[in-house]
Structure 1
């Protein structure tokens, strides 16, 4: 990576993105800058280094050791004083004992920390508390949990995504916490990766659009994070984290520079342009270099080229990993030197204070320049000022009367209802008639844990049942809608907790026997909750136990409705063809069961669309925006060596209980320059009998290019609601920069030539009459 990046980033002259130091500063901003500079001039080296340190909550609580806490949770005066008064620690993260806390407890904890920091330290600098609030306020009991990001992407509804982030910000502030480690902007281009569900799927445009909506929701339209309804967002994981060669978490990725710029930078750039205040760094390696050690990515790319003036924070213990795991540092102290000089501003230590001692020594020894320390601390102090922590170090839960409200729950339900995706509906099996006799079976049928996934009340989501008992599982929601007497439940396959998180047990004959007396089988398959390394896979196929259950139930000759509840697309080729209907719920959150039941019985018309390509085979893990050479079977004269682009379901696919007809595709011009605007319009009509929502998707194909072009790319989408018989005209406006790609000179470029448009089966063409370059970051040259 170093050899590639240095050559291309050294020539960069364009600085883009949001900047705290704008040319036109308000008096309020000037005052903050002056306060920061005054503080910085007064700080000792030890105080500065402390601001760069972040410890986990267990380190400063009463307990047997720094890895766990006693219950009920209580801060240790001795350990808090050690962290804040002795080591001058400026940030705390995470929960204790890996479990959610009440708003009252959070207020107590954060208040005590701020009391020490703002009254007992020499310079009265508040701490900043950060939390992984990624689909709602993860670690607060009673908070509103939304669908995970992959499901939010399936809504193709910008407004729903933004509203979810607004509510998460509100409830995180109600928990006295001003900083969320979200959104995840990693590209979900490999379904093997255990964190694909934390992001918005495989498409660059969709991820960029949804990421911007989350930033607006968290930080507000004007990014005023001092507003007590807003929080600072944190983009993660910069950069290229989600495409390791093995598909396993925190293992090496090999990413050509063109791919890095075209697929992985754009979503982060869009979020930075939207004003995001902080960035978390990729825990893995790119082309052999750990990203936490990569000056060219952290400083040259992120801070200089992309103009990022916020805080770059490590992921969990990742400076230590340079020594313990990656072997690019001979000692822990050398690891600190490498990471800080590369551009890290704040370190998730998270347990040991050795980082502070090592960094102080490194500065005294001349191995880390004071200018690098001052730069990092200035960014951290700016963030604290921007959050208003110097004026209001703690927000109070009593000021947030909408916490966990019906209004917020309705928003979470709506997101789940629009995410759930109908993938197959043979002979109109769905919707079901109320009163039908049903067997609800499968390991995911009666589990809140599997509906929510990881980062739900605990890291792996294993404590969900303890905190989410008041919500409805799939089984309970179906019983509520259809009547308990009409619903039989036999699991067939069950998840059982073990020392290795969980495993499956089976009683398939019992499920087969129960199927004899019902009209339909609702088969709920998928995954239990996981994230990060515990989610690594050797086999992308759905488990053999679940395959066996599905095949056994098919033999009963009863109609089978497959409900998928999974964080990534597990292979279902063995039995998908035998299913009468297939519904993908993803990880829909606490209201996923209710939303699914309403869809199964027709109260809600499904409108979700796949945000990834659902693979059919283990060796067809190809995204929709692939190169023509992935489809050589279509070439005349070629033999069929199983080289076709064989997928279970394509990106952007999803059925409805109504039908939509596209017509009258028009373009404002068939020939235009690279800077002209092109308006594309299409008429969409609901030709069915019920109201439905449709995602209108604009795809554009570059027909000939200097680098083999993608078969097609999503360049726009709008979700519309149409009553039966109603029509609407949808318009998209694009320019050359919207259809540019990265050429061999690493510049975003639109080349003259022909382009094809496709919207809902309607097609047309237009011509670009000139070649135009837009620079490495897409800025007009």
Structure 2
């Protein structure tokens, strides 16, 4: 049988399962309202709706911020003269108190009430691991850590809590989650992703969206999300932010589109554009990506917003537009509906001129504005005057803190535990050293209180550093000598002199906070100062536990080989230090799993789902720690892998089951990973791909049988003709150390 005839019946929208649906009565009602409103709008009002400006354009002087954050005259200019549809960002790049945000929300609402058509402004904010620009908010582990939990319920809770806390401030639109796939470890936004695997990222991101939006994101405790950054942004060939990616069509469809498809299916109503370029086409000028694929293939119905100043950069940076005016035309015609300008009204002025000269058709303007207005209706902005969700029961509650603490615990990966050095006794005498030991910012990373998250002075003092968290729990002596900063040797001699007074060393290394281009690096190697500290401490002969904090897998191979224990903390959030102490002392049994392959060598960036040629003859998949790695203070065994049948008809589901047992001494959680291999295909297939996972908690001696279902989509791939298909043939299921085979009939 010709394999090309065995196309999987996912049809035109196979990428996303987002096929067009019949409109509900509520959707019909919104469409009618949008059409009626659009018919009343002038061209200037329409173009204004497509304009998003930074709060700096309407902000009061910094010294007046505490009195009243808004310059009323500037706000009136933005809304009443330029009809801006959206404002974004926090005043002066710093988190503000709840009272300030409420003043801003009310000022914007009151000013729009003075406009001719009273069209509300939608305010956008980066709340990527909690309400990051709202003082005192619950700040969760970053996305790379949430992925390490392998726990969708925690991601759902993070979404719920973030939306609820935003709504206490009157904020309804969150520029999150990042659905880019994290497969370039140098990239300074890796930690904003859910890791290297398509299935894991799709499930965790979707859970977050569902928690954040619920079934109706106009509900008083819900808010809209935004998928970032469509598409290919996360895979720059150099690893440097906002630099070119080179993606073949098959790679795009296998790895980079499915996560966005999952986000669309979960209901996210907005998408932000890739700030870089793919195959020579800047994201903001890519009609094929923004219209042909996103709209026509994936069925996305919401609106597309640019990233920061990126329409201008088609002219200033990318050199694909000959003028700022041409850049606006190019982006709008490619499919950008709203421009994050952000510091002036140039987009409005240029687009108005383009419409008046008939270079941009009114039909395209109406299309974009209709999408924006639809989302505003869906968000409830056209409803009754805004009331704020009461803070007492909804902001920074004990329940939110408990959820955050649990997420931090489950996000930390115990990578090595030689001779069961961990957990430590609380009576142990521990010398703590290293640049990440006594800082709060290293637990949180970028987009925390400030853009870069690096200003230690603004972090809440009631949240402990790692050093402080250990002191809170310990009955033994906890000493501290810094040893080195991130890049400067300080007092290594003092560290060595102090060692004789302690039983163990906790060596805390890692990265400064960063995001975007300011986080660009040329190598994953740790700074020489940290390596010098590590070498000296390891040579001293005391048992060393290495704790790594930071957003990327910095190279630690020689340290990890000699250390007794290795704990990978990444960016575990405000509760991270307490969670680390819980794990080091055994108050919590670690259960985090790596959502990335942790490289052993420079430039050794293979992924777990590598192709056969990448593990053939002299080629190997040889990370320091593989994807899915994570140790426990207990032991778990999976056994009894059973398939419901070993031969499937085309299009059938496959049910399977496996038993997991806790064979160790303490209660713990185990993540069971189900992998699939297509034995032979017309396009080379990965050695294995994650298709399902479940996390279960078991007491010593307890076992549980888990059930999974593999769907036809799980068996499919992008074929020779770039269509998604299933080919008949043999497949292998892998769970733990067990395998089982089945075949698909022609």
TM range (shorter): over 0.9
Displacement, 1:507?
2.0
Aligned to 1:74: 69
Aligned to 2:4: none
TM-score (norm 2): 0.96
Aligned to 1:499: none
Displacement, 1:74?
2.2
Work out whether 1:673 is the aligned partner of 2:673: no
Aligned to 1:756: 732
Aligned to 2:89: 94
Deviations 1:526-550 (A, max 9, x none): 1110000011011111111111111
Displacement, 1:412?
0.3
SS at match of 2:312: helix
Query: How many residues are paired up?
Result: 737
- Asked whether the 8 Å contact 1:715–1:739 carries over to 2, the reply is no
Displacement, 1:674?
2.6
Deviations 1:433-460 (A, max 9, x none): 1110000111000111000000001100
SS at match of 2:570: coil
CA distance in 1, matches of 2:268, 2:183: 24
Displacement, 1:463?
3.0
CA distance in 1, matches of 2:448, 2:104: 20
Displacement, 1:105?
0.6
TM-score (norm 1): 0.92
Aligned to 1:576: 560
For residue 35 of structure 2, the aligned residue among 34, 37, 43 is 37
CA distance in 1, matches of 2:632, 2:149: 13
CA distance in 2, matches of 1:372, 1:615: 47
CA distance in 1, matches of 2:13, 2:454: 47
CA gap 1:377/1:20 in 2 versus in 1, 3 angstroms: farther
- Asked whether the 8 Å contact 1:186–1:199 carries over to 2, the reply is yes
CA distance in 1, matches of 2:316, 2:496: 51
Displacement, 1:515?
1.5
For residue 182 of structure 1, the aligned residue among 173, 176, 183 is 176
SS at match of 2:524: coil
For residue 191 of structure 1, the aligned residue among 181, 185, 188 is 185
CA gap 1:505/1:132 in 2 versus in 1, 3 angstroms: farther
Aligned to 1:720: 696
Deviations 1:470-495 (A, max 9, x none): 10111000000004x61001111125
Aligned to 2:7: none
Aligned to 2:633: 657
Deviations 1:163-209 (A, max 9, x none): 01100000011111000000101110010000000010000000011
Aligned to 1:776: none
Work out whether 1:205 is the aligned partner of 2:205: no
Aligned to 2:599: 615
Displacement, 1:127?
0.5
For residue 479 of structure 2, the aligned residue among 469, 488, 494 is 488
SS at match of 1:693: strand
CA distance in 1, matches of 2:628, 2:524: 21
Aligned to 1:154: 148
Deviations 1:309-358 (A, max 9, x none): 10100000010110000000111011000000000011100001111110
CA distance in 1, matches of 2:376, 2:459: 32
CA distance in 2, matches of 1:50, 1:18: 34
CA distance in 1, matches of 2:645, 2:227: 38
CA gap 1:713/1:726 in 2 versus in 1, 3 angstroms: same
Deviations 1:735-780 (A, max 9, x none): 222121111211111211111111111111111112xxxxxxxxxx
Aligned to 1:406: 398
Aligned to 1:437: 429
Work out whether 1:276 is the aligned partner of 2:268: yes
- Asked whether the 8 Å contact 2:174–2:226 carries over to 1, the reply is yes
Aligned to 2:5: none
Deviates more, 1:658-667 or 1:143-152: 658-667
For residue 605 of structure 1, the aligned residue among 580, 584, 589 is 589
Deviations 1:33-52 (A, max 9, x none): 22211110000000000000
Work out whether 1:555 is the aligned partner of 2:531: no
Aligned to 1:507: 491
Displacement, 1:731?
1.2
Displacement, 1:18?
9.1
CA distance in 2, matches of 1:268, 1:572: 33
Displacement, 1:12?
8.4
Displacement, 1:504?
4.0
- Asked whether the 8 Å contact 2:484–2:492 carries over to 1, the reply is yes
Q: How does 1:510-529 map to 2 (within 5 A)?
A: 510-529=494-513
Displacement, 1:16?
8.4
Displacement, 1:665?
1.1
CA distance in 2, matches of 1:253, 1:318: 16
Structure 1 gaps, min length 5:
1-10, 496-502, 634-639, 771-781
CA distance in 1, matches of 2:28, 2:604: 55
Aligned to 2:24: 25
Deviates more, 1:744-753 or 1:721-730: 744-753
Displacement, 1:72?
5.5
Aligned to 2:348: 356
Displacement, 1:668?
0.8
CA gap 1:94/1:20 in 2 versus in 1, 3 angstroms: farther
Aligned to 2:124: 130
